[in-house]
Amino acid sequence: MTFKTVLLFGAPGSGKGTQGKILGTIPGFFHFACGDAFRNLRIDDPLGRVFIDYSSRGQLVPDDSTIELWRKNITASTSNGSFHPERDILVLDGIPRNPTQAEMLKSMLDVRAVFHLTCSDMNKMVERLQRRALRENRLDDANLEVIHKRLRTYEQETKPVLDYYGPNLVHNVDSTQSPMNVLRMILNLIASLKP
Ligand code: ADP
Protein backbone atom coordinates (compact mmCIF):
# COMPACT_ATOMS: atom_id res chain seq x y z
CA MET A 1 0.00 0.00 0.00
CA THR A 2 1.03 3.62 -0.41
CA PHE A 3 0.74 6.35 2.20
CA LYS A 4 -1.33 9.41 1.38
CA THR A 5 1.34 12.06 1.95
CA VAL A 6 2.01 15.79 2.07
CA LEU A 7 5.55 17.12 2.34
CA LEU A 8 6.73 20.09 4.37
CA PHE A 9 9.62 21.54 2.51
CA GLY A 10 11.95 24.46 3.12
CA ALA A 11 15.35 25.63 4.27
CA PRO A 12 16.53 25.13 7.84
CA GLY A 13 14.81 27.82 9.89
CA SER A 14 11.86 28.19 7.49
CA GLY A 15 9.41 26.91 10.09
CA LYS A 16 8.64 23.39 8.81
CA GLY A 17 8.95 21.92 12.29
CA THR A 18 6.54 24.45 13.80
CA GLN A 19 3.88 23.68 11.19
CA GLY A 20 4.51 19.94 11.32
CA LYS A 21 4.02 19.81 15.08
CA ILE A 22 0.69 21.64 14.83
CA LEU A 23 -0.56 19.48 11.94
CA GLY A 24 0.42 16.37 13.87
CA THR A 25 -1.97 17.28 16.68
CA ILE A 26 -4.99 17.34 14.31
CA PRO A 27 -6.90 14.04 14.15
CA GLY A 28 -6.36 12.42 10.75
CA PHE A 29 -2.75 13.60 10.42
CA PHE A 30 0.46 11.86 11.37
CA HIS A 31 3.65 13.94 11.52
CA PHE A 32 7.10 12.46 10.97
CA ALA A 33 10.11 14.78 11.36
CA CYS A 34 13.25 13.08 10.18
CA GLY A 35 15.61 15.27 12.24
CA ASP A 36 13.61 14.45 15.39
CA ALA A 37 13.87 10.73 14.63
CA PHE A 38 17.64 11.07 14.42
CA ARG A 39 17.80 13.10 17.64
CA ASN A 40 15.64 10.51 19.42
CA LEU A 41 18.09 7.70 18.75
CA ARG A 42 19.78 6.31 21.82
CA ILE A 43 23.30 7.50 22.41
CA ASP A 44 24.61 3.92 22.10
CA ASP A 45 22.85 3.38 18.76
CA PRO A 46 25.51 3.28 16.03
CA LEU A 47 23.28 5.37 13.73
CA GLY A 48 23.15 8.03 16.47
CA ARG A 49 26.88 8.43 16.14
CA VAL A 50 26.69 8.60 12.36
CA PHE A 51 24.01 11.30 12.72
CA ILE A 52 26.13 13.41 15.08
CA ASP A 53 29.11 13.02 12.80
CA TYR A 54 27.25 14.32 9.70
CA SER A 55 24.83 16.83 11.25
CA SER A 56 27.56 18.56 13.25
CA ARG A 57 29.23 19.32 9.91
CA GLY A 58 26.00 20.48 8.27
CA GLN A 59 25.86 17.46 5.96
CA LEU A 60 23.13 14.95 5.17
CA VAL A 61 23.22 11.49 6.72
CA PRO A 62 23.75 8.81 4.00
CA ASP A 63 20.54 7.85 2.18
CA ASP A 64 20.36 4.12 3.00
CA SER A 65 20.53 4.73 6.77
CA THR A 66 18.03 7.58 6.52
CA ILE A 67 15.43 5.59 4.61
CA GLU A 68 15.90 2.64 6.96
CA LEU A 69 15.30 4.93 9.97
CA TRP A 70 12.16 6.27 8.29
CA ARG A 71 10.87 2.77 7.55
CA LYS A 72 11.47 1.55 11.12
CA ASN A 73 9.73 4.58 12.64
CA ILE A 74 6.71 4.33 10.34
CA THR A 75 6.40 0.59 11.01
CA ALA A 76 6.65 1.14 14.77
CA SER A 77 4.09 3.97 14.73
CA THR A 78 1.71 1.81 12.71
CA SER A 79 2.04 -1.13 15.11
CA ASN A 80 1.60 0.99 18.23
CA GLY A 81 -1.52 2.58 16.79
CA SER A 82 -0.34 6.19 16.56
CA PHE A 83 -0.39 6.12 12.74
CA HIS A 84 -3.36 4.71 10.82
CA PRO A 85 -2.17 4.54 7.21
CA GLU A 86 -5.62 3.68 5.85
CA ARG A 87 -7.15 6.93 7.12
CA ASP A 88 -4.35 9.34 8.13
CA ILE A 89 -2.47 11.84 6.00
CA LEU A 90 1.25 11.38 6.51
CA VAL A 91 3.01 14.73 6.98
CA LEU A 92 6.68 14.35 6.17
CA ASP A 93 9.11 16.98 7.42
CA GLY A 94 12.76 16.80 6.42
CA ILE A 95 12.45 13.75 4.18
CA PRO A 96 12.98 13.20 1.26
CA ARG A 97 15.92 15.57 1.42
CA ASN A 98 17.44 14.86 -1.99
CA PRO A 99 16.15 13.37 -5.26
CA THR A 100 17.72 9.97 -4.48
CA GLN A 101 15.65 9.71 -1.28
CA ALA A 102 12.55 10.77 -3.23
CA GLU A 103 13.20 7.95 -5.68
CA MET A 104 13.79 5.44 -2.85
CA LEU A 105 10.45 6.38 -1.26
CA LYS A 106 8.55 6.55 -4.54
CA SER A 107 6.81 3.18 -4.35
CA MET A 108 5.62 3.85 -0.76
CA LEU A 109 4.35 7.42 -1.02
CA ASP A 110 1.32 8.84 -2.75
CA VAL A 111 2.44 12.48 -2.61
CA ARG A 112 -0.57 14.82 -2.87
CA ALA A 113 1.17 18.14 -2.19
CA VAL A 114 4.53 19.69 -1.42
CA PHE A 115 4.35 22.80 0.78
CA HIS A 116 7.43 24.85 0.04
CA LEU A 117 7.94 27.33 2.88
CA THR A 118 9.85 30.15 1.28
CA CYS A 119 11.86 32.79 3.06
CA SER A 120 13.66 35.40 1.02
CA ASP A 121 15.31 36.87 4.09
CA MET A 122 18.42 34.79 4.79
CA ASN A 123 19.25 36.81 7.93
CA LYS A 124 15.87 36.02 9.39
CA MET A 125 16.46 32.28 8.98
CA VAL A 126 19.92 32.44 10.52
CA GLU A 127 18.46 34.42 13.42
CA ARG A 128 15.70 31.82 13.97
CA LEU A 129 18.27 29.02 13.98
CA GLN A 130 20.51 30.78 16.45
CA ARG A 131 17.61 31.39 18.83
CA ARG A 132 16.64 27.72 18.58
CA ALA A 133 20.16 26.57 19.38
CA LEU A 134 19.88 27.45 23.04
CA ARG A 135 16.20 26.70 23.50
CA GLU A 136 16.31 23.24 21.96
CA ASN A 137 19.88 22.37 22.72
CA ARG A 138 20.74 21.91 19.04
CA LEU A 139 24.47 21.77 18.56
CA ASP A 140 24.15 22.12 14.77
CA ASP A 141 22.43 25.50 15.28
CA ALA A 142 25.00 26.91 17.66
CA ASN A 143 27.79 27.45 15.19
CA LEU A 144 27.44 30.04 12.44
CA GLU A 145 29.74 28.16 10.10
CA VAL A 146 27.62 24.99 10.41
CA ILE A 147 24.42 27.00 9.83
CA HIS A 148 25.83 28.38 6.59
CA LYS A 149 26.95 24.93 5.51
CA ARG A 150 23.40 23.60 6.17
CA LEU A 151 21.91 26.38 4.07
CA ARG A 152 24.34 25.52 1.24
CA THR A 153 23.49 21.81 1.54
CA TYR A 154 19.83 22.79 1.27
CA GLU A 155 20.39 24.85 -1.90
CA GLN A 156 22.59 22.25 -3.59
CA GLU A 157 21.16 18.88 -2.53
CA THR A 158 17.65 19.41 -1.20
CA LYS A 159 16.11 22.06 -3.46
CA PRO A 160 16.25 19.79 -6.56
CA VAL A 161 13.52 17.71 -4.86
CA LEU A 162 11.10 20.48 -5.91
CA ASP A 163 11.82 19.71 -9.57
CA TYR A 164 11.48 16.01 -8.87
CA TYR A 165 7.82 16.50 -7.82
CA GLY A 166 7.15 19.26 -10.32
CA PRO A 167 5.05 22.45 -10.37
CA ASN A 168 1.66 20.70 -10.18
CA LEU A 169 2.39 19.40 -6.69
CA VAL A 170 4.51 22.24 -5.31
CA HIS A 171 2.77 25.10 -3.47
CA ASN A 172 4.91 28.03 -2.38
CA VAL A 173 3.95 29.46 1.00
CA ASP A 174 5.59 32.65 2.26
CA SER A 175 7.02 31.66 5.64
CA THR A 176 7.80 35.21 6.72
CA GLN A 177 4.09 35.46 7.58
CA SER A 178 2.93 34.64 11.10
CA PRO A 179 2.75 30.92 11.98
CA MET A 180 -1.04 31.25 12.09
CA ASN A 181 -1.22 32.54 8.52
CA VAL A 182 1.21 29.91 7.24
CA LEU A 183 -0.96 27.26 8.90
CA ARG A 184 -4.12 28.77 7.45
CA MET A 185 -2.66 28.62 3.94
CA ILE A 186 -1.51 25.03 4.36
CA LEU A 187 -4.87 23.92 5.75
CA ASN A 188 -6.76 25.65 2.93
CA LEU A 189 -4.59 23.87 0.39
CA ILE A 190 -5.06 20.50 2.11
CA ALA A 191 -8.82 21.06 2.27
CA SER A 192 -8.85 21.61 -1.49
CA LEU A 193 -7.02 18.36 -2.30
CA LYS A 194 -8.96 15.63 -4.06
CA PRO A 195 -9.97 12.80 -1.64
P1 ADP B 1 16.92 21.59 9.82
O2 ADP B 1 15.98 21.38 8.68
O3 ADP B 1 16.50 22.71 10.69
O4 ADP B 1 18.34 21.69 9.41
P5 ADP B 1 16.46 18.86 10.83
O6 ADP B 1 16.13 18.60 12.25
O7 ADP B 1 15.43 18.55 9.81
O8 ADP B 1 16.91 20.37 10.80
O9 ADP B 1 17.79 18.04 10.45
C10 ADP B 1 18.96 18.10 11.21
C11 ADP B 1 20.04 17.25 10.57
O12 ADP B 1 19.63 15.88 10.52
C13 ADP B 1 20.36 17.59 9.11
O14 ADP B 1 21.29 18.65 9.01
C15 ADP B 1 20.94 16.26 8.62
O16 ADP B 1 22.28 16.09 9.02
C17 ADP B 1 20.09 15.23 9.35
N18 ADP B 1 18.93 14.80 8.54
C19 ADP B 1 17.62 15.04 8.83
N20 ADP B 1 16.82 14.51 7.88
C21 ADP B 1 17.64 13.94 6.96
C22 ADP B 1 17.42 13.24 5.74
N23 ADP B 1 16.20 13.03 5.22
N24 ADP B 1 18.51 12.80 5.06
C25 ADP B 1 19.74 12.99 5.53
N26 ADP B 1 20.03 13.64 6.67
C27 ADP B 1 18.98 14.12 7.38
**In angstroms, rounded to a whole number, what is the distance separating the alpha carbons of residues 129 and 86?**
36
User: pTM value?
Assistant: 0.94
> Over the chain, what is the mean pLDDT?
94
Over residues 131-160, mean pLDDT: 87
Ligand 1, atom 9: closest residue by C-alpha? 35
Over residues 18-45, mean pLDDT: 95
Q: What is the pLDDT of residues 152-167, one digit of tens each?
A: 999 999 999 999 999 9
Does the structure show a pLDDT above 80 at 142?
A: no
For residue 94, the one-letter residue type is: G
For a ligand 1 pocket test, name from 105, 140, 154 the mutation site with the most ligand atoms within 8 angstroms of its C-beta.
Answer: 140
